[in-house]
């Protein structure tokens, strides 16, 4: 795509996935890492540099072969990068060495963010690694507080929870002579993360806000999008973009955040590279975080919106596959279950297994998060039932309910229409007056069960449609059923004259046919195949009437009437 | 994932994409083809075999390194494969050599399909390559008819249209001494294709039915799903599955079909390997055709439904990138425009450019086909306006119409609700009686313009909601507007008492609030965020009333009444 060769410091799984993305764009990549590292396995070049991204000599060798240098890990030799830039002024290095340096020391990173107006957890540098110093912090922050290594910390290695005074000694032993800082305890309700890619012009594009779940300090699950209100997701996205705007240069950044009980969002830390919380983008977004990074560092186009979900209904879960703690390769059982699960993909990194090592990940993609969750349960071995395909499963989309079986003759006509169109539906009796609790349960559970709309038939006082509508956010269609008195006008007015705030879609008296047809039109909003079917149905009606007109004109209205009366 | 090494005969783009899929599953692949072929570029092994898939010696060398052999092209030496199988009885070869042999000769393939009850175009073997023989066929089939090479034909190379008698000589010159067959002219309306993967147990799984568009006999575009009625798509899927069931062994197959004007489907030809018409699966389905093939030939799980679209709303277009006919690498301009387009991905194959050579492809994924089409227009250079992001563009989802501006005070209340919820909407005047043509156009175009539902307000005779509903498959919500006489009951009955066949979702008289809330509930079927917002709205209403109750109980009803009357 582009004449530039990209040199990558580090050939682990992140490097491997960068290489994969670059291949698809015909962009040449050269890797610096130990021989046969995951990224090198999928790149048939003789030019890779076997060495360490912490050594000047190796970085220099890589730079000789590349137009752009980038990293898959922030723990590289920044001074070496700066020297390389002096030696080869034309080489581009993204993220900028200064950015890497800022980020490498987590305490400096925090101070930088504070300076740029980004909310972070309160923290303080530990001046000397002594119990005395920690006790002083404990007095100020209270217990528990977090003691963290300022450098070389990842996946929780380098963090220690100081539960009370007595833990100070143990904390210092655990973290040894590393430079430390202390963080006030942050009682977050959720951890959020946003991948942000920055162009060389300084434009930033955020991927969707996701929710991360850690286990033993290692990323375990990512839910995309995060299961939080829109305003929270947007707030997180803005915080992440502002944080990344504070770093010049370009490339992808992973921003990890805490959501506090009061809705406040604090930035926890930033990675200047692809990030585990962004692996879901490979399947859930058209442009993965890896391709976004490649585009950024090589100056390829990054249009508005290229970091979105592929479709408006995409939901995804990412599960990390860690080396089994006891039996080598036992983690492959999880992978096998994933392969047995429709709508799940397995990504293995070509590494030798070791306990707790990140061996690969699994992405699950679906139109609904609850469906993705049920697939996850199978993959994790929590259930033995393989989740069905999402397309073919006949999960009811429409629920038909009525107050009494006396309404069934009227309501069955609508059910037949749904059957004729092939709409999965359910039908049952729910009485507002005789089974009020059942009605409440039905209304409340309907959205979770995947219903997209409810058709409720009722006669007389006809409270069912309105009461169900009052307890569910789904659209409710009301069918006034004609009783033995008042011609059904009582039911019609009862159903249609709902107060402002709670709508019921009312159809004609006894006309459950139209209720069913309306339900199908509503489903058309989800899947245009229903609109196609509806158009066909309307065309057939038109043809039927045109046929009758032709016959009538053909045989004359007198004969036609005779024929009609015979039927 | 699995201990097996897969040897691939052929290292072109199809082999390359097989290798990519295998990498993700930690499955080792070894390739037989010319050195530095596209597939070898992304596989850092010393063990690849530089040679030809038409030579026994090379195939033997590959077989020595592999547990399973497969192909990315059907023009391989079948006899060599059979000998290899004799020499290494434990090696698995998929597709089976017998299947490849059957398929290599297109006329034999056709006879095989006919024997298995698959409908194909009528054809006959050309007994001798003479004008006489062709004239005889012309007499029987009429002109034009197709003259085709039985072997080594692809991308239209090996096809000749015999337009009339005078073309016979030219046809024989063009096709030289190749074994030929003639095919009756097939006046198809569309070309369809289905990728089918077969497990070693003989189970077959079909990918969605797609529509292919050829240009100069080379695949140009693929629309997935095909823009045909469900019954046609299902029929094509069944035909493709039946065709593939007739071949023992396992692996992926591409089935190309013709759709005739009467709805009949004829199988055109079958490829026993990944196929150009299945490239869309990389982005549109969780499991790509390449991974499906790897799973099939290595015996990994293939659950029901694993070949579906990732979400129920996936629509995709694939565009082939061919080497520019005049200027080397000019095709990269198409790629650059694709990179400028959100929701498009570029796949380049690492080949040197040549006119008309398949250099790569572009996948576009969206929730709607018309959106995908507009992205395609930009990529093809037919428009210069970069399509907006699908998520953020404020394309109206709801249309509010009314018969007269006198209805505006009533309808504006609903508009405010939509605004409050952040629903993109449009509002205009459309009169059933005064602008009947405008009404028809509005109703007919609404689905194409992306509207998900229409709110129509009308008073008096109140024909607008019902007439619009009669001309659109979208759900229509009717608001009876109270006139100066009859209290709005006239409008209510006019709107709600629609005949069977055409539903209007009717709300209370003057209650456009409820119409808007109903529209939002309907949008909830598309995107659950609207349901979340609706639940929040309902909760707020509840809290408001609970607050009033508290005040009332607190200050007593007498004082409360006094306060209320003051307002």
In tens, the pLDDT along A421-434 reads: 989 999 999 998 88
Calculate how close chain A gets to B406, using CA atoms only, in Å: 21
pLDDT of the residue at B158: 83
pLDDT score of A85: 96
Residue B393 in this model has a pLDDT that exceeds 60: no
Task: Test B526 with A389 for CB contact under 8 angstroms.
Answer: no
- Tell me, yes or no, whether A386 lies in a domain: no
Closest to B530 in 3D by CA, of B439, B429, B420, B389 = B420
On the question of pLDDT at A457 being above 90, the answer is: yes
Does the structure show a pLDDT above 90 at B525?
A: no
Question: Are residue A54 and residue A163 in the same domain, yes or no?
Answer: no
Sort out which chain A residues have CB atoms less than 8 A from B496's CB and list them.
492, 496, 506-508
In a domain, B154, yes or no: yes
Beta strands in B331-389, from DSSP E residues, in sequence order: 344-348, 358-366
Cβ(A400)–Cβ(A442) under 8 Å?
no
Task: Please determine, for residue B247, whether its predicted confidence score (pLDDT) is greater than 60.
Answer: yes
B487 Ramachandran zone, left/alpha/beta (phi>0; psi -120 to 50): left
Would an 8 Å CB–CB cutoff place A447 in contact with chain B? yes
CA–CA separation, B491 and B157 (whole Å): 67
**pLDDT band at residue A390 under the 50/70/90 scheme:** low
Unique residue bearing structure tokens 């904390």: A171
Strands B344-348, B28-33: pairing is unpaired
Contact status of B523 with chain A (Cβ, < 8 Å): yes
The 10 Å CB-count burial string (b at 16+, else e) for B29-38 is bbbbbeeebb
Residue B87, chain A, CB below 8 Å: the answer is no
Question: How far apart (Å, rounded) are the C-alpha atoms in residues B298 and B5?
Answer: 9
Report CB contact under 8 Å: A313, B40.
no
Q: Examine residue B95 and say whether the peptide bond preceding it is cis (omega within 30 degrees of 0).
A: yes
Based on the domain organization, do B146 and B46 belong to the same domain? no
pLDDT value at residue B485: 79
Q: Could you tell me which of A288, A301, A392 has the C-alpha nearest to residue A345? A: A288
Q: Give the pLDDT mean for A394-402.
A: 89
> What pLDDT is stored for residue B88 in this prediction?
96
The CA distance from B403 to B390, in Å, is 32
Q: What is the mean pLDDT of chain A?
A: 93
Residue of B nearest to A331 (CA): B1
Instruction: Tell whether B521 lies on the interface with A, counting CB pairs under 8 A.
Output: yes
CB-based contact A339 B526, cutoff 8 Å: no
Residue B499 lies in a domain: yes
Instruction: Calculate mean pLDDT across residues A16-22.
Output: 98
Q: Does residue A174 lie within any of the structural domains? A: yes
Whether residue B345 contacts residue A307, with contact meaning beta carbons closer than 8 Å, is answered with no
Task: Give 3-state DSSP helix, strand, coil % of chain B, rounded to 5.
Answer: 40, 25, 40
Secondary structure of residue B373 in the 3-state scheme:
helix
Q: What percent of chain B has pLDDT over 90?
A: 80
Residues A163 and A53 in one domain: no
Q: B524 and chain A: CB distance < 8 Å anywhere?
A: yes
Supply the DSSP string of A198-216, one letter for each residue.
Answer: E-TTS-EEEPPPEEEEEET
Residue A392 has pLDDT above 60, yes or no: no
| C-alpha distance from B97 to closest chain A C-alpha (Å) | 28
Contacts of B367 in chain A (CB under 8 A): 311-313
Are B178 and B148 in contact by the 8 Å Cβ rule? The answer is no
Please check whether residue A227 touches B, CB under 8 A.
Answer: no
Burial class of residue A334 in the structure, from the number of CB atoms within 10 Å of its CB (0-12 exposed, 13-18 middle, 19+ buried): buried
Among residues B516, B542, B521, the alpha carbon closest in space to that of A473 is found at B521
Both tokens of residue B503? 């539903």
pLDDT band of residue B231 (cuts 50, 70, 90) is confident
Nearest to B390 among A312, A346, A518 (CB): A312
Total domain count for chain B? 4
E-state strands within A290-437:
315-322, 344-348, 358-366, 398-402, 425-429
Q: Does A47 lie in the same domain as A131?
A: no
To test the contact with chain A by mutation, choose from B349, B473, B481 the residue with the greatest count of A C-beta atoms within 10 A, namely: B473
Q: Closest Cα partner for B284 from B313, B325, B243? A: B313
* Residue of B564 and B30 predicted with greater confidence: B30
Q: Which two tokens stand for residue B355?
A: 């006119």
B-interface mutation test, from A26, A205, A304, A372, most B Cβ less than 10 A away: A26
pLDDT at B184 over 70: yes
Chosen from A289, A321, A342 to mutate, greatest number of chain B CBs within 10 A = A342
pLDDT, mean of residues B393-409: 87
The pLDDT tens digits for B296-309 are 999 999 998 899 99
Phi-psi category of B544—alpha, beta or left, where left has phi over 0 and alpha has psi -120 to 50? alpha
Residues A468 and A522 in one domain: yes
A181, A107 Cβ separation under 8 angstroms: yes
Indicate whether A391 pLDDT > 70: no
Cβ of B518 under 8 Å from any chain A Cβ? yes
Nearest alpha-carbon partner for B530 in B514, B546, B543, B518: B518
Whether residues A503 and B523 touch (CB distance < 8 A) is answered with: no
What pLDDT does B439 receive? 92
The residue of chain A nearest to residue B45, with distances taken between CA atoms, is A44
Q: Write out the residue range of the structural domain in which residue A541 sits.
A: 529-566
**Chain A hits for B357, Cβ within 8 Å:** none
CB contact under 8 A, A474 and B521: yes
**Distance from C-alpha of B478 to C-alpha of B183, rounded to nearest angstrom:** 57
Residue B419: CATH number of its domain: 3.40.50.1970
CB contact under 8 A, A230 and B533: yes
Predicted confidence at residue A106, as pLDDT, reads 94
Given this model, what pLDDT does residue A88 score?
96
Chain B residues with CB inside 8 Å of A513's CB? 500-501
Are residues A417 and A488 both part of a single domain? yes
Sign of the C-alpha dihedral, residues A215, A217, A222, A225?
Answer: positive
Query: With an 8 Å Cβ cutoff, is A440 touching chain B?
Result: no
Interface mutation target, options B505, B538, B544, chain A, most CBs of A under 10 Å: B505
Which residues numbered 346-385 in A keep a CB inside 8 Å of some CB on B? Answer: 346-350, 360, 363, 365-368
Give CA separation, B53 vs A460, B306, B488, in Å: 79, 31, 80
B389/A523 CB distance under 8 A:
no
Q: Is B502 on the interface with A (CB under 8 A)?
A: yes
Nearest chain A Cα to B474, which residue?
A521
| B473 vs A230, A332, A538: nearest CB | A538
In a domain, B362, yes or no: no
Q: Which residue of A has its CA nearest to B393?
A: A305
Q: What is the pLDDT of residue A216?
A: 87
Q: What is the pLDDT averaged over residues A59-85?
A: 96
Residues of A in contact with B341 (CB under 8 A): 303
Residue B287 lies in a domain: no
Examine the domain organization and report whether A425 and A540 are in the same domain. Answer: no
Q: Do A1 and B332 touch (CB under 8 A)?
A: yes
pLDDT score, position B450 = 83
Interface of A with B in 42-71 (CB under 8 A): 42-45
Measured between CB atoms, which of B41, B310, B511 is closest to A365?
Answer: B310
Give the separation between CA A302 and CA A40, rounded to whole angstroms.
Answer: 27
| SS3 readout for A3-21 | CCEEEEECCCHHHHHHHHH
Nearest by CB: B508 against A447, A498, A507: A498
Does residue A222 sit within a domain?
no
For position B566, what pLDDT does the model report?
85
Of B24, B473, B511, which is closest to A347 when you measure between CB atoms? B24
Binding-face residues of B in 312-351 toward A, CB within 8 A: 312-315, 332, 335-336, 339-350
Residues A515 and A449 in one domain: yes
Indicate which CATH number applies to the domain containing A174.
Answer: 3.30.1490.20
Q: What is the pLDDT averaged over residues B127-153?
A: 92
Residues A539 and A522 in one domain: no
The answer to whether the Cβ–Cβ distance between B526 and A523 falls below 8 Å is: no
Of the candidates B360, B475, B527, which has its C-beta nearest A313's C-beta?
B527
Q: A412 with A520, same domain?
A: yes
Structure tokens at B486: 């009859």
- Cα distance between residue A85 and residue B361, in whole Å: 37
Q: B20 CB near a chain A CB, below 8 Å? A: yes
Give yes or no: residues B68 and B154 share one domain.
no
* Contact across the interface for B345 and A287, Cβ inside 8 Å: yes
Chain B closest-CA separation from residue A150 CA (Å) = 35
As for the ipTM of the complex, it is 0.78
Query: B343 in helix, strand or coil?
Result: coil
Q: Is B452 close to A525, i.e. CB distance below 8 A?
A: yes
The secondary element (H helix, E strand) that includes residue B3 is: none
Of the candidates B229, B335, B535, which has its C-beta nearest A473's C-beta?
B535
Does the CB of A246 have a partner CB in chain B at under 8 Å? Answer: no
Residue A149, H or E segment = strand A145-149
Closest to A286 in 3D by CA, of B369, B309, B340, B365: B365
Instruction: Provide mean pLDDT across the span A486-497.
Output: 91
With an 8 Å Cβ cutoff, are A526 and B313 in contact?
Answer: yes
Calculate what percentage of chain A has a pLDDT beyond 70: 98
Do B553 and B478 fall into the same domain? Answer: no
pLDDT tens-digit profile of A299-326? 999 998 899 999 877 999 999 999 999 9
Percent of chain B with pLDDT over 70: 98
**Residue B460 has what pLDDT?**
86
**Average pLDDT of the segment spanning A43-58:** 94
Determine, for residues B339 and A534 on separate chains, whether the beta-carbon distance falls below 8 Å.
no
B503–A525 CB contact, under 8 Å: no
What CATH code is carried by the domain that includes residue B52?
3.40.50.20
Q: Comparing A150-154, A193-197, B201-205, B543-547, which segment has the lowest mean pLDDT?
A: A150-154
Question: What single-letter DSSP state applies at residue A69?
Answer: E
pTM of the predicted structure, to 2 decimals:
0.79
Range in A490-494, A528-532, B221-225 the model is least confident about: A528-532
């Amino acid at each position: 795509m582009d004449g530039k060769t990209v040199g990558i410091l580090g050939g682990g799984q992140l490097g491997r996935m960068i290489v994969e993305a670059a291949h698809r764009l015909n962009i040449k990549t050269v890797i610096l890492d130990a021989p046969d590292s995951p990224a090198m396995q999928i790149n048939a070049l003789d030019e890779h540099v076997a060495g360490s991204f912490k050594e000047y000599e190796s970085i220099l060798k890589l730079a000789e072969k590349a137009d752009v240098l980038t990293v898959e890990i922030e723990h590289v030799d920044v001074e070496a990068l700066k020297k390389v830039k002096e030696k080869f002024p034309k080489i581009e290095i993204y993220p900028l060495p200064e950015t890497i340096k800022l980020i490498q020391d987590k305490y400096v990173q925090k101070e930088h963010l504070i300076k740029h107006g980004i909310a972070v957890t309160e923290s303080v540098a530990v001046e000397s690694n002594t119990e005395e110093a920690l006790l002083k912090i404990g007095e100020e922050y209270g217990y528990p507080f977090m003691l963290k290594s300022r450098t070389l910390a990842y996946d929780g290695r380098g963090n220690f929870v100081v539960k009370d005074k007595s833990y100070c000694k143990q904390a210092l032993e655990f973290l040894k002579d590393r430079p430390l800082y202390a963080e006030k305890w942050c009682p977050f309700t959720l951890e959020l993360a946003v991948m942000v890619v920055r162009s060389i012009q300084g434009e930033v594009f955020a991927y969707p806000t996701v929710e991360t779940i850690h286990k033993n300090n290692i990323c375990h699950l990512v839910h995309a999008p995060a299961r939080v209100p829109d305003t929270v997701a947007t707030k997180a996205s803005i915080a992440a973009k502002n944080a990344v705007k504070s770093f010049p240069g370009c490339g992808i950044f992973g921003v990890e955040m805490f959501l506090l009980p009061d809705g406040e969002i604090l930035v926890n830390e930033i990675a200047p590279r692809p990030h585990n919380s962004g692996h879901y983008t490979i399947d859930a977004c058209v442009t993965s975080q890896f391709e976004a990074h490649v585009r950024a560092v090589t100056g390829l186009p990054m249009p508005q919106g290229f970091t979105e979900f592929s479709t408006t209904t995409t939901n995804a879960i990412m599960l990390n596959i860690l080396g089994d703690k006891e039996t080598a390769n036992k983690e492959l059982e999880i992978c096998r279950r994933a392969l047995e699960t429709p709508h799940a993909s397995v990504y293995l990194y070509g590494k030798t297994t070791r306990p707790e090592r990140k061996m690969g990940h699994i992405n699950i993609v679906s139109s609904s998060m609850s469906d993705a969750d049920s697939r996850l349960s199978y993959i994790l071995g929590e259930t033995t039932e393989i989740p069905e395909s999402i397309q073919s499963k006949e999960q009811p989309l429409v629920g038909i309910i009525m107050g009494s079986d006396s309404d069934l003759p009227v309501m069955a006509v609508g059910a037949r229409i749904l059957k004729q169109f092939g709409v999965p539906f359910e039908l049952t009796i729910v009485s507002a007056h005789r089974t009020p609790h059942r009605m409440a349960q039905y209304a409340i559970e309907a959205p979770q069960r995947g219903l997209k709309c409810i058709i409720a038939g009722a006669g007389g006082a006809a409270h069912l449609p309105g009461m169900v509508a009052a307890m569910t956010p789904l659209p409710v269609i009301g069918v006034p059923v004609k009783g033995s008195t008042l011609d059904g006008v009582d039911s019609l007015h009862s159903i249609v004259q709902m107060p402002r705030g709670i709508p019921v879609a009312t159809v004609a008296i006894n006309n459950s046919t139209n209720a069913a047809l309306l339900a199908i039109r509503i489903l058309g909003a989800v899947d245009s195949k229903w609109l196609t079917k509806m158009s066909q149905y309307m065309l057939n009606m038109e043809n039927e009437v045109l046929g009758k007109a032709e016959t009538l004109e053909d045989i004359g209205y007198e004969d036609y009437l005779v024929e009609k009366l015979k039927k």
